[in-house]
Amino acid sequence: MGLWNPARPDELNERITHEAESTRGQIVPRKLVEKEIRDLVEAAAKQYPKLKDQASVILWGPAQRAYASHDPTTRKAFDLRQGAATDWNAAVGQKNSPFDNRIIEQCVLIPRMNVCKMTPEGLAAKQPEARLAQEVVFLLKLKNMRLSRHRSESCLSAEEIQTLFGHRGSQLSVTSKQWQNFCEKIGGLPIPPHLEVKAPREGGRSSFCRPALRLVKELILSGEHPQDFHAKKFSN
């Protein structure tokens, strides 16, 4: 910016002049900007004691962390609203968007429709089919699980998937111990690395739209061949 020149360290200009060098193509890493602000606050605290240990507040606001409003617990604790004035981190030029402004992808199964959100568990009770995306991810993981049965590699049948899916309820995960017990119950043994089913992620977006998710869920639980399932749906 030309406000300070290391060759003349005692001089500090108040305004940018035509002699300032171009910053085009130069990107300052965020961690260096943060470090510089912290150093400035610590230096200023020597003359203004109230600034001591306040660098994080100046950087990130009352929550003292970046993107604090994205975390439901922190948002509630500090009464933040995503994208509001209290959510601005002006020191680093960061403004959080009040909405998801990324380009929404098309559904991989029905391309004319957009993908849907992965609803957090805390909102599941307020919306019908709120956990549909997570349920389909869980069912797809169950469908891909492998076990040893009758001395050969096997997968779960539709009835076994229905049983395991129904028993899990809202808990869309299976620990290694639970998987081992279920395999023994149906006369099988776990095959590494298929030893557990981790819970689906809470945020972000699915790869499907909701109509497609309903179809995938119905298909997996039905146990029908995809071609037969497709033919039956289009024959109605």
DSSP string, 159-213: HHHHHHHHHHTT---B-HHHHHHHHHHTT-EEBTTB--BPPPPSSSB-SS-HHHH
- Give the phi and the psi of residue 106 in degrees, each rounded to 5: -85, 150
The whole-angstrom separation of Cα 208 and Cα 107 is 5
Per residue in 85-138, pLDDT (tens digit) is: 667 665 666 666 666 556 788 999 999 999 998 876 665 556 667 889 999 999
Question: For residue 220, is it left (φ>0), alpha (ψ between -120 and 50) or beta?
Answer: alpha
pLDDT of amino acid 173: 92
pLDDT of amino acid 101: 59
pLDDT of amino acid 100: 58
Residue owning tokens 């001591």: 52
Contacting residues for 70 by C-beta, under 8 A, at least 6 apart? 82, 96
pLDDT of amino acid 235: 78
**With a cut of 70, which residues of the chain have pLDDT below it?**
1, 85-86, 88-102, 120-128, 169, 236
pTM: 0.58
The whole-angstrom separation of Cα 10 and Cα 55 is 26
C-beta separation of 79 from 65 below 8 A: no
pLDDT of amino acid 166: 86
pLDDT of amino acid 111: 93
Distances (CA, A) of 233 to 42, 106, 115, 208: 68, 22, 21, 18
DSSP helix/strand/coil, 89: strand
Q: How is the chain split into domains, by residue range?
A: 27-95, 121-235
pLDDT of amino acid 143: 93
pLDDT of amino acid 207: 92
DSSP helix/strand/coil, 144: helix
The whole-angstrom separation of Cα 188 and Cα 198 is 20
Residue owning tokens 């620990």: 175
The whole-angstrom separation of Cα 57 and Cα 16 is 29
Residue owning tokens 């497609």: 212
